[in-house]
Amino acid sequence: MQTATQIASGSKTQLWIGRILTALAVLFLLFDGVTHVLQIPSVMDAFKQLGYPASVALEIGIVELVCLVLYIIPSTSVLGAILLTGYLGGAVATNLRIDAPLFSNVLFPVYVGLFIWGGLYLRNERLRALFPLQR
């Protein structure tokens, strides 16, 4: 969990931008994971189009939600971000395999990953110390 000192060393604007980026990524991934778990018909159709059996939707949704919970918990947020990056890499590979449009489909998981890591970077002093952008 972040301490008051960690938060104080970053600007309030930086902290809020980090929170907003994190919230956007979390809301998208939560929606995506829940639709997988609930096995909504449009999601099942998408699985078939992607070449996956509909039967794996539940397992994929559970994996996504577990990774998301790890990301949301401050003490495990870096682990969650790493696991979500792997999950999103699989989404990129899947879209590449079916020759989906580059900027709208193939790179969308990359955009989500940038929100995940950007939000975490702006909220986490220790991560900024590990990877400083300024000298």
- Quick one: DSSP state of residue 104? I
Q: In this structure, is residue 132 part of a structural domain?
A: no
Q: In this structure, is residue 135 part of a structural domain?
A: no
Q: Provide the domain limits for residue 111.
A: 9-127
Task: Name the residue with tokens 């970077």.
Answer: 121
Per-residue pLDDT of the chain (135 residues; tens, 9 = 90+): 445 444 445 699 999 999 999 999 999 999 999 999 999 999 999 999 999 999 999 999 999 999 999 999 999 999 999 999 999 999 999 999 999 999 989 999 999 999 999 999 999 999 999 999 876
Per-residue confidence (pLDDT) for residue 89, from 0 to 100:
97
Q: In this structure, is residue 59 part of a structural domain?
A: yes
- In degrees and rounded to multiples of 5, residue 45 shows phi and psi of -65, -40
Into how many domains does the chain fold? 1
Distance separating alpha carbons of residues 49 and 104, to the nearest angstrom:
16
Per-residue confidence (pLDDT) for residue 129, from 0 to 100:
92
Q: In this structure, is residue 115 part of a structural domain?
A: yes
Distance separating alpha carbons of residues 116 and 28, to the nearest angstrom:
11
Per-residue confidence (pLDDT) for residue 7, from 0 to 100:
45
Q: In this structure, is residue 74 part of a structural domain?
A: yes
